[in-house]
Structure 1
Amino acid sequence: MNIPDIMAKGGIAMWPLLFLSILALSTIIERSFFWIRFLSKEKQIIKIILKTASYDWDAVSKIAQNYSKYPIGNFLYISLKLDNPDPEVFHLAMESSADDELTLMRQGDKVLEGIIALSPLLGLLGTVLGLISSLGNIQISDLGTSSARGVTLGIGEALISTATGLIIAITSLTFYRIFQSLWFNQVRVFRKIGSELELIYQQHWLKINSSNSKNLHETCNE
């Protein structure tokens, strides 16, 4: 059977299932491109920012800004653009930016969750409606005759919508779990990189304040 035949034999439930399949496919493609683009650059961005921060803190904000279109770059840039903040303020800024970026990285998850839940139910609804139509036309006297074979064929066609709904749900669930695993891995990466950058900044902040205190002390002595 070709697609028009499947749509016709699957019943009215096939049309919302077609819409869900298109929605699922577009979401999967968009999210796949996002993760491929992001992960291909992530290690390079982290290496450059941490290396710059370790030897030239004043330049690291500009470097991070160049990568602010990537989630990991924007996450770090939000804190780095602050002007010599207290370490506690720096920490809070990093936590806030991490929450924002991680939330944005889950775009599309709710769509896939809805498709996973709705597709099997719509498929089952299509099958039930098909069975009602097929069994409603059979009479006791038709049992064992050629009319009964027509009903059997109708029941088989009614199961098309259930199979379609399950295929859509299984495909969506597979990619949903993949995207979820990638997201959970990013939570660990953000925590690790955030901690390393905070440690570098604390050393920088202590050095700056120690220098300022020394200069102030020398000025007072003069």
Structure 2
Amino acid sequence: MDFSNITNIEELLKAGGPVLIFLIFLSIVSLTIILERFFTLRKQIKMSRKLIAYAKYQLQAGQIDKIIEACGRDIAKNTPAGRLIKTLLTSNRQGANLKDYSDEVIDWEVTLLHKKLPVLATLGSTTPFIGLFGTVLGVMRAFADLAAMTAATAGPSVVAKGIAEALINTAAGLFVAVPAVIAYNYFTTQINFFERELENIASEITHAR
């Protein structure tokens, strides 16, 4: 079978072997996490920003009760800013104690936002090596096949075919790794920006208290 004739899934799986099947599984895991985090973070951050803007306006007007009421509605929708703002407004802590407490709450909310992202980081860093491992196995198999052939049937084309098929695993490893790394960096950047927004509203509430 020539590499150029690999035209269907069955032939691809046969060429890549068990390592390719494992990489396909990892790609499904990666895609699932990327989609889940994208829609979840977009929803939570968007709702939180609306609440933060509302809280800043009402804070200037001294309408604490309206802010707490709005937070209650957003908490039901799992909004990080809702939990943070309500916690700070209803806390009996003051001054430096309230500031330290707000930092703890923000750290916890940011940790929740980072949920599953370490998996993407791990996939991004390890799948190229898994693909390379599959390629090495394929190259070893190609040379073993070459050694088993007679001088009349052996030739460079035999090794070239085996290596070409083995390189499918390297390509598959990169196919999983690249989107995972891009998504991880994107999500991390979005969360870092949002963390600054949480710190800003927490600081305003702390000074207002």
Q: TM-score range by the shorter chain?
A: 0.7 to 0.9
Amino acid at match of 1:32: F
The one-letter code sitting in structure 2 at the alignment partner of 1:64 is C
Q: Among 127, 138, 149, which residue is 1:130 paired with?
A: 138
- The answer on whether the counterparts of 2:89 and 2:205 sit within 8 Å (CA) in structure 1 is no
Unaligned runs of 5+ in 2: 1-6
Distance 1:13 1:29 in 2: 24
2:3 is matched with none
Q: 2:43 aligns with which of 32, 37, 42?
A: 37
- Residue in 1 aligned with 2:197? 189
The answer for the alignment partner of 2:106 in structure 1 is: 98
**Residues in 2 aligned to 1:63 and 1:16: alpha-carbon distance in whole angstroms:** 47
**For residues 137 and 78 of structure 1, do their structure 2 counterparts lie closer, same or farther at Cα, with a shift above 3 Å needed?**
same
Structure-1 residue corresponding to 2:67: 60
From 138, 142, 164, the counterpart of 1:156: 164
Structure 1 CA distance for aligned equivalents of residues 81 and 187 of structure 2: 17
C-alpha distance after superposition, 1:16-71 (max 9, x if no partner): 21121111000000010012212332331111122222221243222222212211
Which of 103, 116, 119 does residue 111 from structure 1 map onto?
119
Shift of 1:77: 1.6
Matched, 1:78 2:87: yes
Query: Quick one: structure 1 residues 28 and 141, their matched pair in 2 at CA, closer, same or farther if it must change by over 3 Å?
Result: closer
Q: Structure 1 runs of 4+ off > 6 angstroms?
A: none
Distance 1:143 1:194 in 2: 77
Residue deviations 1:195-218 (CA, integer Å, cap 9, x gap): 1222222xxxxxxxxxxxxxxxxx
CA distance in 2, matches of 1:144, 1:161: 30
1:147 CA displacement: 5.0
**Larger-Rg structure:** 1
Distance 1:139 1:74 in 2: 67
TM-aligned CA deviation for residue 169 of structure 1: 0.5
SS at match of 2:146: coil
TM-score normalized with structure 1 length = 0.82
Residues 103 and 140 from structure 1, CA distance in 2 versus in 1: closer, same or farther, beyond 3 angstroms? closer
Q: Distance in 2 between matches of 1:113 and 1:50?
A: 36
Structure 1 CA distance, aligned partners of 2:48 and 2:153?
68
State the percentage of identical aligned residues.
Answer: 26
- Count residues in correspondence: 200
Distance change (3 Å), C-alpha of 1:144 and 1:33: farther
The 8 Å contact of residues 127 and 177 in structure 2, kept in 1 or not, is answered as yes
Instruction: Please state how far the C-alpha of 1:145 moved relative to its aligned partner.
Output: 5.2
Tell whether the 8 Å contact from 1:112 to 1:172 is kept in structure 2 after alignment.
yes
TM-score (norm 2): 0.87
Equivalent residue in structure 1 for 2:207, among 199, 209, 215? 199
- Unmatched tracts of structure 1, length 5 or more: 202-222
Measure how far apart 1:151 and its partner are: 2.7
